[in-house]
C-alpha cells in the first residue's frame, strides 16, 4: 500500500491531474463576483445545475460505452485520451470564462465543465483505484487544492474587490490554465512515454474483455457495480453503507450552494465560496494524517463513524439554511464563516475516507467499475439536491435588499 505520509511520483501525478481537472470548476464558481451583479443572483444555482446535469449524463452514458472504447483502443489509450482531453478543454474554458456576455454563455461553460471535467475526473479516479485504494485520496486532494487556487488569486490580485480592473478579471481566469496544461504534459510524458501504470492498464484490458464462448464463464454483468461473487453481493453490508454515505454527503454539500448568494452581497457569496474551498482543503489534508487506514479498529468501524458525521453535517446544514432565511441570525462574520468551513471540512474528510474504504472493500476485479459508480453517485446526488434546493429558494422568496447585488 502506498505511504500516506511520504509522497512518491505516483501520488504527485494524481495530485497534479486532480488540480488540473478541477481548477476550472473552482474559478468558474468563484466568478460569482462577476456573474452575480451582471446577470442574476439565481445564476449561481443554475450554473451548478448545468455542471451536474452534464456530469451525471456523461458518467451515466460511460457505463454503456466505456467497454466498447477500451476493447477497441486499449485502456492505456482510452484512459489517456479521456484525461488529457479533459485537461485541454478545461484550459480552453478558463480562457473563455471572462468573456461571458449572457447567462447562456455561463451555462455553456458549466456544461463544458460537467462533460470534460466529469469524465476526466471519473477516469482518473478509476485509474487511481486500480493502482491503490489510497491513491483516490490524492486525486481528491488535488481536486481540493484546485479549489484553494481562487483563494490565493483573489488575495494576491484583489479579485474580491468590486473595483478590480479588467486585467485582474482576466488574470484570475487565465493564470490557472497553467495547471491544466502542465498536468496534461506531465500525464503524457509519465504515462504514455515512460510507461507508468502499464501493468494496471493490462489488468484493465483483461477485465474489460468479454468472456469467450465455451470458457465456462457466464455472461458479463451489464452493471460494473455488481460483484463477481454472488449477484448483487455489493448491495449488502458495508459497501451499501458506503454508497449511501457517498450519495448523501454530496447531496448535502450541493444543497447549500444556491443559498450562499442569500447571506449578503456578491462579495459575501464570493467569500463563502472561498471558505468552502478552504474548509475542504483542510479536510483532505486531515484525511492523509488522521484517516481510517492508520487504525484497523477505526477502519472496521469506518462506515458507522462516517454515518454519524453525516448526521452532524445534517444538523449544521439546517442551521445554515435557517440563517439564509433569517430565521436564525448568523450574521455575516465569524459564526457564518466558521459553520460553513466546518460543514465542508467534514464533507471533504468523509468523502476521502469513504472512497478509500469502499475501494478497499470492493471486489478487486470490479474496482474500476465500482469507482465509476461511486463517481456517478457523486454527480447525480448533487444534481438531485440542486433540483430540490433551487425551487425551495424561489418558492420561499428569501428576502434581501436589492442593493446587495446591484
Residue 81: give its domain's CATH number.
1.20.1250.20
Domain-embedded: residue 299? yes
pLDDT digits (tens, 9 = 90+) for 96-144: 999 988 888 999 999 999 999 999 999 999 898 888 777 888 888 888 8
Please indicate, yes or no, if residue 406 is contained in any of the structural domains. no
| Domain assignment present for 218 | no
pLDDT of 184: 93
How many domains does one find in the chain? 1
**Residue 203: helix, strand or coil by DSSP?**
helix
User: Which residues in 42-78 are b (16+ Cβ under 10 Å) and which e?
Assistant: bbbbbbbbbbbbbbbbbbeebbeebbebbeeebbbeb
For residue 230, the model assigns a pLDDT of 40
Residue 266 falls within a domain, yes or no? Answer: yes
Pairwise CA distance, residues 79 & 69, whole Å: 10
The overall pTM is greater than 0.85: no
Assess contact for 69 and 78: CB atoms under 8 A: yes
CA angle centred on 42, ends 41 and 46, rounded to 5° = 135
pLDDT of residue 57: 92
- Residue 24 pLDDT: 93
Q: How crowded is residue 331: how many other Cβ atoms within 10 Å of its Cβ?
A: 11
Per the domain annotation, does 237 fall within a domain? Answer: yes
**pLDDT of the residue at 29:** 82
Q: What is the pLDDT of residues 272-325, one digit of tens each?
A: 888 888 888 888 888 877 766 554 545 556 677 888 888 999 999 999 988 887
- Would residue 242 count as lying in a domain? yes
Domain of residue 157, residue span: 9-210+223-400
Residue 125 lies in a domain: yes
Amino acid at each position: 500500500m502506498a505511504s500516506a505520509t511520504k509522497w512518491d511520483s505516483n501520488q504527485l501525478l494524481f495530485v497534479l491531474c486532480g488540480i488540473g481537472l478541477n481548477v476550472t470548476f473552482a474559478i468558474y464558481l468563484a466568478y460569482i463576483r462577476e456573474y452575480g451583479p451582471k446577470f442574476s443572483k439565481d445564476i449561481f444555482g443554475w450554473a451548478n445545475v448545468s455542471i451536474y446535469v452534464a456530469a451525471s449524463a456523461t458518467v451515466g452514458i460511460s457505463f454503456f460505452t466505456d467497454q466498447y472504447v477500451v476493447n477497441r483502443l486499449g485502456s492505456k489509450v482510452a484512459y489517456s485520451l479521456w484525461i488529457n482531453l479533459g485537461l485541454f478543454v478545461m484550459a480552453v474554458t478558463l480562457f473563455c470564462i471572462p468573456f461571458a456576455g449572457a447567462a447562456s454563455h455561463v451555462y455553456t461553460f458549466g456544461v463544458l465543465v460537467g462533460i470534460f471535467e466529469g469524465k476526466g475526473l471519473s477516469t482518473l479516479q478509476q485509474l487511481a483505484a486500480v493502482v491503490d485504494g489510497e491513491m483516490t485520496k490524492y486525486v481528491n486532494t488535488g481536486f481540493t487544492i484546485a479549489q484553494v487556487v481562487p483563494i490565493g488569486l483573489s488575495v494576491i490580485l484583489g479579485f474580491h474587490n468590486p473595483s478590480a480592473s479588467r486585467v485582474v478579471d482576466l488574470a484570475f481566469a487565465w493564470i490557472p490554465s497553467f495547471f491544466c496544461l502542465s498536468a496534461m504534459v506531465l500525464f503524457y510524458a509519465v504515462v504514455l512515454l515512460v510507461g507508468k501504470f502499464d501493468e494496471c492498464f493490462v489488468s484493465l484490458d483483461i477485465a474489460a474483455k468479454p468472456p469467450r464462448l465455451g470458457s465456462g464463464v457466464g455472461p458479463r454483468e451489464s452493471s460494473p457495480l455488481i460483484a463477481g461473487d454472488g449477484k448483487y453481493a455489493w448491495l449488502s453490508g458495508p459497501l451499501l453503507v458506503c454508497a449511501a454515505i457517498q450519495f448523501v454527503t454530496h447531496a448535502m454539500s450541493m444543497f447549500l450552494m444556491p443559498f450562499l448568494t442569500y447571506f449578503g452581497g456578491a462579495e459575501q457569496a464570493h467569500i463563502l465560496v472561498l471558505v468552502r474551498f478552504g474548509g475542504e482543503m483542510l479536510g483532505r489534508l486531515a484525511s492523509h494524517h488522521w484517516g481510517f487506514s492508520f487504525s484497523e479498529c477505526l477502519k472496521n468501524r469506518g462506515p458507522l463513524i462516517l454515518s454519524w458525521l453525516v448526521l452532524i453535517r445534517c444538523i449544521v446544514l439546517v442551521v445554515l439554511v435557517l440563517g439564509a432565511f433569517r430565521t436564525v441570525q448568523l450574521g455575516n462574520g465569524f459564526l457564518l464563516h466558521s459553520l460553513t468551513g466546518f460543514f465542508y471540512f467534514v464533507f471533504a474528510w468523509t468523502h476521502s475516507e469513504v472512497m478509500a474504504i469502499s475501494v478497499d472493500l470492493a471486489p478487486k476485479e470490479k474496482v474500476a467499475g465500482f469507482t465509476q459508480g461511486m463517481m456517478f453517485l457523486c454527480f447525480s446526488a448533487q444534481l438531485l439536491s440542486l433540483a430540490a434546493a433551487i425551487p425551495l429558494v424561489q418558492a420561499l422568496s428569501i428576502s434581501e435588499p436589492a442593493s446587495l447585488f446591484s
